[in-house]
Structure 1
Amino acid sequence: MSASLKTWLAATLLTTGLGLAPAQAAPLRIAIGGAFTSIDPHFYNATPNHSVAMHVFDRLVDRAPDVSLKPGLALSWTPVSDTVWEFKLRPGVTWHDGKPFTADDVAFTYQRARNVPNSPGGFGGFLRAVKTVEVVDPLTLRIDTGEPAPNLPRELAFVPIISRHVGESATTEDYNSGKAAIGTGPYKFVSQTPGDRVELVRNDAWWGPKQDWDKVTLRMITNSGARVAAVLAGDVDIIDTPPVGDLEKLKADPRVTVSTTEGLRVIYLALNSLEPGAATITDNDGKPLPKNPLLDLKVRQALSIAINRDGLADRIMQKTARPTGQWLPAGTYSYAKSVTVPANDPNKAKALLKEAGFPDGFKITLFTPNDRYPNDAATAQAVAQMWTRIGVKTAVETLPWSAYATRGGKQEFGAGLWGWGSPTGEAGYLLSNVLASNNPSKGLGVFNYGRYANPALDTQIVQALATIDDGKREQLLVGAVETAAREVPIIPLFILDNAWVTRKGIVIDPRRDERTLAVDARQAQ
């Protein structure tokens, strides 16, 4: 065979996909809008951090884009009694350093993830049901929950598995430097530039399907306009959370594709429930009040009905969100049909303030991140105007997410705008993490930033989460949602839709849990 014929055949094989096609050796560049703050997979339970960790570390149980459960490092999970689950692990899995993965690594992970030093919001809530972990053999473990825990597989889908041989002596700084960033996941850690990007390389020994991308770059571009400009210029291949005002224009642009799905994240306001209240709640002269007004139910009700949720969803979010009075979309398991969207009624709000002893209102600062959720600062500004109209003179203070999360965790806010996703697909995830009384030792109320405490609601939550029967558990969860709606410890505003923009030639499966993952992206056929 002549040299020229050999050359022609090689080129033909490449272009027809019968040889080593370029698709199997392509880099992928992803721009994430939220700030990822650590490579330590247990440091902070926030979606941007999850999006990074899920490339490097696997979980015992995994989630599909529609949040249904599927095998991860565990091939199966079976309740062998009311309080014991047995997990059969995937054979032949190795860590990125070549050492074998075993059940002992899982046992170590569930011990370590409960209490990571200096964590602003950790993973203890996902492990509160785990009382003991028994390593039966290298590929079998049993988890004793002490009491029925029907949500255990859903909760374990959040916890990245790390190795004992690396993690036992590793600090958060060791993960951030890359020294300890050794997982079993589809990509290996290469480097991190804090505040900018993480570089990854494909793990060809991964147990999952062969990945299209030989290298993946996860960039942190918190400015939404800059993200759009980057994908339109071809500087990145995928962006998440595009600005809502640009969606229609992007859908018409032949250079990109917009992919959307109904989300599971509620944007809500957390109200300070401590006494004394936050320093940012004062009388109209800026002096401390004798009592925190947010402890009065009538004040909380007034603040809620002062908000025009339809207006926020239609004008601020430009119809990319749905107004709500709870935290799950209609049709979801444990959605409470009785809890409707609170009607906007400024006059009634003023009357409630007067009944509560604040006929002239008071002053409050509403804190918000300015780079975490779509239109977060704009939403806070709109709410501030609505509250000011009823006499609660509201200033807005915006912060970058890294500073916001730290200060919010210290209860410095009188009121703060937050988002909470429910990728478990049921009401108990928010109830146990956000509305249960703060009790880190039991894994409850870890993200209860307002420090609301209601023993009766706590009882409802704990009872619901320990009920095996799906129908009875749903009734109990709905009852807890109804209690929260009556007591107004938080003020739900709207539920977001999720959107991604991909460069032409790239397809992504949109996820209801908002994670942006290279494993969900592929080259268009």
Structure 2
Amino acid sequence: MKFKQTLTVCAVAAALATLGAAQAQTVRIGNQGDALSMDPHSLNESLQLSVTGNVYEPLVTRGKELQLEPALATSWKQTSPNVWRFELRKGVTFHDGKPFTADDVLFSFARGSGDGSDMKSYTNDIKEVRKIDAHTVEFETKAPFPILPGVLSFFYIMSKQWSEENQATRPVDRRKGVENAASFRANGTGPFRLRERQPGVKSSFVRNGNYWGKIEGNVVNVEYTPIGNDSTRVAALLSGQVDVMEPVPVQDVARVNASGKAKVLQGPELRWIFLGMDQKRDELLNSSVKGKNPFKDKRVRQAFYQAIDINGIQKTVMRGAATPAALLVGPGINGFDPAMNTRLPYDTEAAKKLLAEAGYPNGFEVGMNCPNDRYVNDGAICQAVAANLARIGVKVNLQVETKGTYFPKVLKRDTSFYLLGWSPSTYDAHNVLNALIRCVDDKGSGQFNLGAYCNPKVDELTLKIQSETDQAKRNAMIKEAFTLHSNDVGHLPLHQQALAWGVANNVQLTQRADNQMPFRYISVR
């Protein structure tokens, strides 16, 4: 089944009108984007995982302070260096009433590591998942993996029987445009059920009356509406048509705070924005250079890096709501070393010299892909980068588009130069090394290393970091791995963006640094 939906002005107006008629104990959320699918294994993107994480659950979850907490597993322990045993929660049912058992865990991990899954970077170091009994499973890893419980905190469990009955045994493949019942329907164990799904227009959720755990908030209904236009989104909050919206455009923060109707919750986000370059093809897809790939030359990559005026972007595009970065991790992530977080200097003359040394004294043309509704001011950031690169003779043919078409394209690696954001789901540097920097294979290593950067020494260190339990030794290896990556100019780090949620005065919620928004913490007074 294939589904295409165009979000029109009329559709937004109709959705907002519905929101205006909402009842008490209903929270109305407006976001710049939508979850692209209800399938929890189809896209490893934080917004999608935030939305579907209210319907589906992992074995181990994160609390308000990002601490690990039991979810569908009540306890876990290592029984040997390579084996973890999880005791599953009894008495849990899926939303259709069927019981949750070990069979669902085995099925979900087979599904999530199979064709079409976007979650392979969570499963690539798992050798086998075994059923011990109906409520006990074992995970055998390929090597010692002491951080496995944290790795599993965003891997959601589906019902084996429901998936088989609805021909949804394989994930929705965003790269190929393949859809199935899991795209538009959902059957999890979580605190909220999916009531209605209109992709790109509105999704409705209702409190699960049979939920096994505690729901702290008083919200019964959640109306989630994507509102891509910044001005429309702010107007919806200030007029009372939505109760929560994000992100608040940086230029509107003061206005919202002065309205007397809502406030802006701000804080650092565990997300870094960076640029990637195709370093694998012998000839770039979209470039004036024929017969070779300029990005294979470190001098070209470094020229691009030093041509970017990151302080100018911070000041004019982000209006101060970003922190320039030199690494793909930062404060709040285990393994971050502030002593390493020093960028190469912004220097257009040095960049021109590097290009000339690499054989491009007059620059060249290159295509660039960028979303305009996923990260804070993402389209404007790419425009600023393109303007910066023009100063050294590089003509960027920029394609800015909605994430609904952007992600399927770049995830197929149909790009030469792209912008991406990353929030490590394990809050550990290993996640970045494994998903973004490690050499690409078909098991999930480097699954989001879309430019195919590869340094075997970094790979060797990544595997050692995964197994090391001595924190000092582990951090030393993380530092070495990031030093190698930085010296290679494997990616072009930009900045850490800030969270900005607009919240009506009568709403209480929890803002987590990973930008997840659990509905179960929301209350309306």
TM-score (norm: length of structure 1): 0.90
**Deviations 1:223-260 (CA, angstroms, capped at 9, x unpaired):** 22221111111111111211111112212221002112
Aligned match of 2:407 in 405, 408, 413? 405
User: % of aligned pairs identical?
Assistant: 33
What residue in structure 2 maps to residue 238 of structure 1? 244
Whole-angstrom CA distance in 1 between matches of 2:151 and 2:333: 17
What residue in structure 2 maps to residue 69 of structure 1? 68
Distance 1:46 1:331, change over 3 A: closer
Q: CA RMSD in A?
A: 1.8
After superposing the two structures, state which structure 1 stretch, 475-484 or 166-175, moved more.
Answer: 166-175
Displacement of 1:272 in angstroms is: 1.1
Whole-angstrom CA distance in 1 between matches of 2:354 and 2:72: 54
Quick check: 1:297 aligned with 2:293? no
Q: Flag the structure with larger Rg.
A: 1
Whole-angstrom CA distance in 2 between matches of 1:330 and 1:56: 30
* Conservation of the 8 A alpha-carbon contact between 2:112 and 2:120: yes
Which secondary structure state, in structure 2, belongs to the residue aligned with residue 212 of structure 1?
coil
Distance 1:186 1:93, change over 3 A: same
Whole-angstrom CA distance in 2 between matches of 1:35 and 1:450: 26
**Deviations 1:359-382 (CA, angstroms, capped at 9, x unpaired):** 111112222111111111111111
Which secondary structure state, in structure 1, belongs to the residue aligned with residue 54 of structure 2?
helix
Structure 1 moving runs of 4+ over 4 Å = none
Displacement of 1:440 in angstroms is: 2.6
Mapping 1:41-440, distance limit 5 Å? 41-117=40-116, 122-169=118-165, 170-171=167-168, 172=172, 173-178=180-185, 181-210=186-215, 211-282=217-288, 288-330=289-331, 332-336=333-337, 337-440=339-442
Which secondary structure state, in structure 2, belongs to the residue aligned with residue 310 of structure 1?
helix
Which secondary structure state, in structure 1, belongs to the residue aligned with residue 354 of structure 2?
helix
Whole-angstrom CA distance in 1 between matches of 2:233 and 2:336: 34
* Conservation of the 8 A alpha-carbon contact between 1:294 and 1:300: yes
Distance 1:399 1:453, change over 3 A: same
* Conservation of the 8 A alpha-carbon contact between 1:328 and 1:427: yes
What residue in structure 1 maps to residue 6 of structure 2? none
**Deviations 1:181-222 (CA, angstroms, capped at 9, x unpaired):** 111000111111121111111101112223411111121222
Displacement of 1:116 in angstroms is: 4.6
Whole-angstrom CA distance in 1 between matches of 2:43 and 2:332: 30
Displacement of 1:466 in angstroms is: 2.3
What residue in structure 1 maps to residue 461 of structure 2? 460
Which secondary structure state, in structure 1, belongs to the residue aligned with residue 130 of structure 2?
strand
TM-score (norm: length of structure 2): 0.90
Which secondary structure state, in structure 2, belongs to the residue aligned with residue 277 of structure 1?
coil
* Conservation of the 8 A alpha-carbon contact between 1:24 and 1:213: no
Distance 1:25 1:245, change over 3 A: closer
Displacement of 1:25 in angstroms is: 5.9
Distance 1:163 1:331, change over 3 A: closer
* Conservation of the 8 A alpha-carbon contact between 2:327 and 2:341: yes
* Conservation of the 8 A alpha-carbon contact between 1:34 and 1:373: no
Distance 1:143 1:352, change over 3 A: same
Displacement of 1:502 in angstroms is: 1.0
Whole-angstrom CA distance in 1 between matches of 2:299 and 2:360: 10
Whole-angstrom CA distance in 2 between matches of 1:47 and 1:56: 15
* Conservation of the 8 A alpha-carbon contact between 1:498 and 1:511: no
Displacement of 1:390 in angstroms is: 1.3
**Deviations 1:264-286 (CA, angstroms, capped at 9, x unpaired):** 1111101011233323221xxxx
Distance 1:153 1:248, change over 3 A: same
What residue in structure 2 maps to residue 495 of structure 1? 496
Whole-angstrom CA distance in 2 between matches of 1:46 and 1:73: 22
Quick check: 1:479 aligned with 2:480? yes
Displacement of 1:330 in angstroms is: 3.4
Which secondary structure state, in structure 1, belongs to the residue aligned with residue 126 of structure 2?
coil
Whole-angstrom CA distance in 2 between matches of 1:360 and 1:36: 42
**Deviations 1:101-131 (CA, angstroms, capped at 9, x unpaired):** 12221111111111253x5xx0111012221
The runs of 5 or more residues in structure 1 that have no matched partner are 1-22, 283-287
Letter of the 2:182 counterpart = Y
**Deviations 1:381-436 (CA, angstroms, capped at 9, x unpaired):** 11111111012122322111111111112222221111111232221112111111
**Deviations 1:469-490 (CA, angstroms, capped at 9, x unpaired):** 3322222122111111111121
Aligned length: 491
* Conservation of the 8 A alpha-carbon contact between 1:364 and 1:393: yes
Which secondary structure state, in structure 2, belongs to the residue aligned with residue 157 of structure 1?
helix
* Conservation of the 8 A alpha-carbon contact between 1:83 and 1:146: yes
Displacement of 1:331 in angstroms is: 6.0
Letter of the 2:37 counterpart = S
What residue in structure 1 maps to residue 19 of structure 2? none
**Deviations 1:493-523 (CA, angstroms, capped at 9, x unpaired):** 0001112111120022111111223123223
* Conservation of the 8 A alpha-carbon contact between 1:264 and 1:423: no
Distance 1:457 1:137, change over 3 A: same
Letter of the 2:454 counterpart = A
* Conservation of the 8 A alpha-carbon contact between 1:25 and 1:212: no
